[in-house]
Amino acid sequence: MGKSQARLIKLVNKDTKEVYWTSKNKKLVTRKIELSKFSKKLKKHVVFKEAKK
């Protein structure tokens, strides 16, 4: 596993099961991330939460 893959995290919307992939600095951010992203299915911004890969 390369360095870039080690930081890769999966963000999931529980309603639509849509997935966003992003990275985070695990040394500085120890909590799970929640981001507001655009949902293509709902056509509005919704909360995406960090999930297991």
Domain ranges of the chain: 3-51
Q: Which residue has the tokens 């939460």?
A: 49
Q: What stretch of H or E contains 36?
A: strand 34-39
Q: What stretch of H or E contains 2?
A: none
pLDDT at 1 over 70: no
Q: Which residue has the tokens 């997935």?
A: 19
pTM above the 0.85 mark?
no
- pLDDT of 3 reads 61
Rounded-to-integer distance, Cα 43 and Cα 50, Å? 21
Residues 51 and 11: beta-carbon distance below 8 Å: yes
- pLDDT of 23 reads 92
Name the CATH topology of 3-51.
Answer: Rubrerythrin, domain 2 (2.20.28)
